[in-house]
Structures are given as C-alpha cells and as structure tokens.
C-alpha cells in the first residue's frame, strides 16, 4: 500500500492540474465580462479579497499553524501571483482574449528553464519537446486570418507569462508546507497589493448582473478553487510537468468560446488542440513506463524531492 501511494498521489495531482486548466479556461470569458463594468485592479481586488476570505476558512477552522518558512514562501508566491495577474488583466483590457491566452501561455516554455536554474535539475529532452509542442498548439489555437501583431497588451501578456512561470516554480519551492496555509497567504498578499490601485478609482454604480456573476466565478472558481488545486498538485508534480498540464487552459478557453460565445471551430483550432493533447500524452508517457518497469527505473523527481 505504501509503495502505491506516490503513484496514486501523482495521478490525483495530474487530474487537479487538468481541472485547474479547465477552470481557468472559462475564466478568460468571465474576466472579459467583468472588465466590461469594472477596472482591471478592481477585478483583481474583488477576486483576491474574496478568495482570501475563502482560503482562510480551513486554516482557521482547523487551527493550522503558520511557520516562518510557510509565511516566507507564501509571501513570495503571492508577489509573483499578483504581478502575473496584474499584467494579464491589464493585457486582456488592451488586446483580444485569444492573443492574451496565447502570450500568457508562453510560461509553459519558460518554466523548465527557471526550474533548472532554481533546482539545478535539467528538464528531460522529451519533456522540453512536449513543452515546445504544446506552445505550438497554443499558437495555432490563437491564430486568426490576420495573424499576430505585437501590441502593448501582448507585451504585457508576455511579462505576465514570465511571472506565471516564476509563480509555478515558487509553488514547487513551497512544496512540503501546508498547502492550505500557502494558498491563504498568497491570496492575502495579492489582495493587499490590489487594494491601493483598486480603491483609488471610481467604482461603477450599476455594474449589471453578468459582470457581477462573472466576479463570483472568478472568486470561487478561477482564484480560490483553482489555486487550491494547483497548490495541492504541485506537492507531487515537478514545476515543468505541472506547467504543461496547466497550459491546457488554452484548449479549454477555445472550447468554451465555441460552446458559449458561438465562435467558429476553425481547422487551425482543431489542429492546435490536437498538438496540446499530444504534448500532454508525451509528458505523461514516461510516468506510465516507470510504472510498468519500476524495478529498473529510478523514482520520479517529485518523489525524490519529498523531505
């Protein structure tokens, strides 16, 4: 039973990452709707403050202790999280959702190199190839007849990709700490940093029902639940592997746009989705091989890094 436990936890972590990608995929639609009535930093303040309130419930209810190490690592995660979302939300306000999703998802290529620099462990060739394949798929899904043009919003989205990559790596750095505590701290830090710019502008008197419902989804789904799942998952997955699974948000975003916004499913979108699924299969294939040949293969990095 003890030997099967790490495999079971990794399978659960994979499901958590894929579910997070789906939640974030719909979040692009919700963010666009909320920005029709609220400013970018108002959206950030509402979503992080609401998510922080939800995140502290299990910490306070179960009287979980906050160590100096968990506080430090949670604050670092929160700094990267706020910076990434600030640039993403500002970028989404200045460019189309498809372009924003594409440039933001560039983090899938950056994470293996950042993880290499921090943890001194180079990515496997197959894993890095899968990241490039995934990024190519994201590019196809975001391609339009006129192609891509680099605008201010796109540059902000690229900066966001770098900070999201830093956040994913920082969550692996925080592995071993209580995930509920880490999630509560990072949500609180992001909420505090959003407060000054969010409260300094005029708030809408009648925002409308759809933007308000979109904010509810962003609070409970895209922020609190999604990052709780990601924080849990990265206890058992390497940062580069997690980033590729999380990058399926682009696939989900386009799928939800077809279903709910009645956008047309183009051949490029279908080909891009196939490339993303192929990349996910490639990066998970070594895990299945290790499972059938565990007597000859060394344990996974996620297992060896556990204290």
Structure confidence by residue, pLDDT tens digits, 41-62: 999 999 999 999 999 999 999 9
Nearest CA to 280 among 156, 52, 146, 126?
Answer: 126
CB-based contacts of 151, cutoff 8 Å, min separation 6: 94, 95
Examine the pLDDT at 300 and tell me if it is beyond 60.
no
**Both tokens assigned to 196:** 């000054």
What pLDDT, in 10s, does the model give residues 161-209? 899 999 999 999 999 899 999 999 999 999 999 998 999 989 998 899 9
Nearest CA to 135 among 258, 250, 224, 29?
Answer: 250
| pTM, rounded to two decimals | 0.81
Between CA 254 and CA 259 the distance in angstroms is: 9
Give the pLDDT score at 106: 75
Average pLDDT over residues 17-24: 93
Between CA 260 and CA 244 the distance in angstroms is: 25
Examine the pLDDT at 1 and tell me if it is beyond 50.
no
Between CA 9 and CA 115 the distance in angstroms is: 21
Examine the pLDDT at 294 and tell me if it is beyond 80.
no
Examine the pLDDT at 139 and tell me if it is beyond 60.
yes
Give the pLDDT score at 297: 37
Nearest CA to 301 among 120, 164, 178?
Answer: 120
List helix spans (H) across 200-248: 209-217, 226-233, 239-246
Higher local confidence (pLDDT), 160 or 265: 160
pLDDT band of residue 98 (cuts 50, 70, 90) is low
Give the pLDDT score at 22: 93
Examine the pLDDT at 8 and tell me if it is beyond 70.
yes
Nearest CA to 237 among 5, 9, 3, 4?
Answer: 9
Give the pLDDT score at 285: 63
Higher local confidence (pLDDT), 104 or 39: 39
pLDDT band of residue 293 (cuts 50, 70, 90) is very low
Average pLDDT over residues 227-245: 91
């Amino acid at each position: 039973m003890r030997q099967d436990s790490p495999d079971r936890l990794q399978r659960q972590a994979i499901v958590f990452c894929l579910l997070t990608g789906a939640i974030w995929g719909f979040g692009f639609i919700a963010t666009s709707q909320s920005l029709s009535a609220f400013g970018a930093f108002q959206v950030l303040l509402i979503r992080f403050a609401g998510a922080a309130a939800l995140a502290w419930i299990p910490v306070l209810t179960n009287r979980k202790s906050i160590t100096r190490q968990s506080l430090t690592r949670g604050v670092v995660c929160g700094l990267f999280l706020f910076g990434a979302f600030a640039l993403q939300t500002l970028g989404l306000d200045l460019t189309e959702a498809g372009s924003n999703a594409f440039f933001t998802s560039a983090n899938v290529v950056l994470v293996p190199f950042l993880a290499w620099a921090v943890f001194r462990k180079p990515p496997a060739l197959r894993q890095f190839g899968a990241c490039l394949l995934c990024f190519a798929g994201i590019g196809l899904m975001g391609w339009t007849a006129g192609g891509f043009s680099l605008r201010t919003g796109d540059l902000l989205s690229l900066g966001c990709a770098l900070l999201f990559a830093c956040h994913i790596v920082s969550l692996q750095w925080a592995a071993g700490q209580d995930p509920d505590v880490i999630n509560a701290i990072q949500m609180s830090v992001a909420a505090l940093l959003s407060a000054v710019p969010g409260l300094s502008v005029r708030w809408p008197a009648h925002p409308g029902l759809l933007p308000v419902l979109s904010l509810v989804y962003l609070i409970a789904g895209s922020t609190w639940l999604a990052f709780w799942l990601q924080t849990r998952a990265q206890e058992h997955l390497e940062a580069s592997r997690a980033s590729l699974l999380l990058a399926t948000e682009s696939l989900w975003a386009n799928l939800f746009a077809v279903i709910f916004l009645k956008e047309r499913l183009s051949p490029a979108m279908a080909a891009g989705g196939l490339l993303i699924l192929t990349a996910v299969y490639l990066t998970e294939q070594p895990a299945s091989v290790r499972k059938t040949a565990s007597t000859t293969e060394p344990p996974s990095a996620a297992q060896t890094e556990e204290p």
